[in-house]
Chain A
Amino acid sequence: MTETSQTSPEPLLKLEGISKSFPGVRALRDVSLSLERGEIHALLGENGAGKSTIIKIMGGIQSQDEGQIFLNGKECHFSSYRDAISAGIGIVFQEFSLIPELDAVDNIFLGREMRNALGFSRKNEMTRIAQGIFERLGVKTRFDVPVARLSVAEQQFVEIAKALSLDVQVLILDEPTATLTPTEAELLFNVMRQLRDQGIGIFFVSHHLEEIFEICDRITVLRDGAHVGVLKTADCTMDHLVEKMVGRKIESTFPPKPALQTAERILEAENIRFASNGHPNSFYLRKGEILGFAGLVGSGRTETALALIGALPCPGKRVRIEGREVSMGNPAQALHHGIGILPESRKTEGLILGFSIRDNISINNLPQYTRPIGTIDTAREKRKTQELMSAVHIKAPSDETTVVSLSGGNQQKVVIARWLNRRSKILIFDEPTRGIDVGAKAEIYTLMRNLTAEGYAIIMISSELPEVVGMCDRVAVFSHGVITAVLEGDAISSEEVMRHATASVKKSAVDALSA
């Protein structure tokens, strides 16, 4: 992994002294990058460090204020993504640009379909070429179904194939693993290695340092829009990298787990199922604890939480809060009983993106600010919102900033703050740190422990094992819609969680947890 092809004197792609400003913000300051042929090169930095901006500049989507781009030693000017692609730079964005209803071949050739003399599409020919590309990638996929029916990983391969069909020499992958399972990510890495061996240069963006160490040859670290260093992967350690990224040493990421003050069960849930013929799960939650919902993607963790709060129908469930039986037919009733949720996808389910921080935090707190005559006391609302913002350390110019301009970590804190004003007692955090950088992760963890210290009880759904092990007091492990084990204390380890998560679910698991 250490040998990078240095045979050619000119790097494949070179950026020199790139600067870019937006009104009031300097997004990039004098950043230089270089990418060799046959190299996988990580772009690393916290959210807001300037990664997306530099990618957009390489792709011609934005133009730099200063600086030059050289491809194969020749200076290039891109005024659109089309320019960049035809020059040989392809980007696979986090949000795919595939048309869900079309199959892989039609997607790959979208806009430049091959036609015969009569104008009919030469589907067989195109399929043959697409198959050739997939052979290059070393993976298989189905060509006869709409891409919407392919897995996320396969869709990503289709995106990559689309770029390769355009003969790109530089491939930029923007957080490609964020939505992949570990197995799928492995597949992607194999594809990336194949392409590297074929001489393609790859920029890889990821927040997962393990992945970067696994696959990348070199790493460029950005911080606050500036280039802080380029390192050979073989020469550096993870701590070193994190320090470079955040500009300070991060102590242990996970706060200590305090001893539980009470055994009082704040929530008892029975017969929670999310499909009419699904397995009925039962679990309980104690005051001040963090209960993990672990398991593979698709094992029913999120669905169970949604069924609990009534966002999914769940006839026959029984929920007791502080010993009292309550009905919970929809999230509004759950709110009434003190249960709040931080949804899995903060952008599509958590936030109203174009709205201000204040609007987003206030949305379920308005009755508190309402005068007896029914109008909102905006002065009070503003004051209280600012209190909440500082309580969860949201960094933003003001409470009127729109949430779309915030970093992932700050966006997540906005959703958290929403629940802290209602005397909620139970919070469900679904993948609270997905797509969030290292520094902000640590802040979210500390925040969660502060909340439990105040008496909140938290259910945390997470696909990241270190997070589950580091944060949870107890862990309910899901496999195929069934809670197969509840681990507590020293029994919580990555190996144990994985063992139960991949367990087949023949034996009844109910008695294991309703003890």
Chain B
Amino acid sequence: MEKPKIPVDTILRHLAQDADRVQERAQKASDILLSPLSTEIASTPYEIVYQEDRVKLKHYLPVREPSKDITRPLLVVYALINRETMLDLQPERSVVKNFLEAGIDLYMIDWGYPSRKDKFLTIDDHVNGYMDNIVEYIRSKNKVDKINLMGICMGGTFCVIYSALHPEKVKNLVTTVCPTNFDTEEGLLHIWMKDVDVDRMIDAFGNMPGDLMNFGFLLLNPARLMIDKYVGFFENMDNKSFVENFIRMEKWIFDSPDVPGETFRQFVKDCYQKNLLIQSKLMVGGKRVDLKKLTMPLLNIYGQYDHLVPPGAANKITGKVGSKDTEDVCLDTGHIGIYVSSKTQREFTPKIIQWLAHRDADTRGSPEKKGTRPKKAASESKKDDMQWNKRIARLKERSHAREK
């Protein structure tokens, strides 16, 4: 039998070639890193139209005439963990920009940076306080009885709670990567949270430190998030566009406000440890959050490979709410990729726009029966679909063109 051969010569030759390439790359990288870089995030123009304590309401400036199909304003509620800037990370991959290009009147909550003074704020203060005041402001400014609501991650959980407690103010609800069922062994976060002594944690820290949470998120996959990611960066340091996007992402990831202590305590105890929300047993502001009262149309989008909110944590809600018009959409991506990957950009926002258009058109200001979907003539609905398919095709074309 022939002895196995170790191709030492070939490996060494490759290494030598690599060494040359590394030198060349380092030279190019130093030119790039020393030159001015465009790493600004959240650059889509907006104005602050409402502020209460640290919480601000962003209203994005329209880029085209308002949509005739989605006439109600859309309020986007981000999580208290990390920042809402993720939806507008870079001009070519901006959920915000896509909504504006569809003519949506877009509002977004900026939760700000909680300080020690905010440690006593509860989920009730966020949902029935800040969120409700903001919804009231938008309703009154736009003279509408209901608005469209979209929640992201923990912000989605807040939206579910809000919609169950105030169904008369929400026309359509969109939840994205939103944890609602916490009794799952799919994600490490769900496993770890069950053993956390949250009382001791909040007594020691006051607010939940953003940096500590970020460290926890990095520990979910250290091989990829602490090693491979930066190896990838070094391998692509000579690509200006890659460097700029990488830095944008780093800016967003490590921009982590603390979470108000009492809110974090209740979220971990009542949701992660007792799983009360999905059982309609969660109490917020002295009222029970009864999911059967969530009667508006619900679109629930989640990621197949989401390691923070795995499918099992996100896909139970549609079967528990009172609404008969519900839809689950599982995208082939992870927790952040759903908003920033170029592939899902072509599916995610067009899907929401189309879904909203079907439910929002011609119902502005008119109260609707609970649990019913606005009926349209078959020909009208088909016409709508064609019109929207054309619009989505245009969006896709633009997205392809930008990538090229």
- Judge: A and B partners, yes or no: no
A residues contacting B by CB (< 8 A) are none
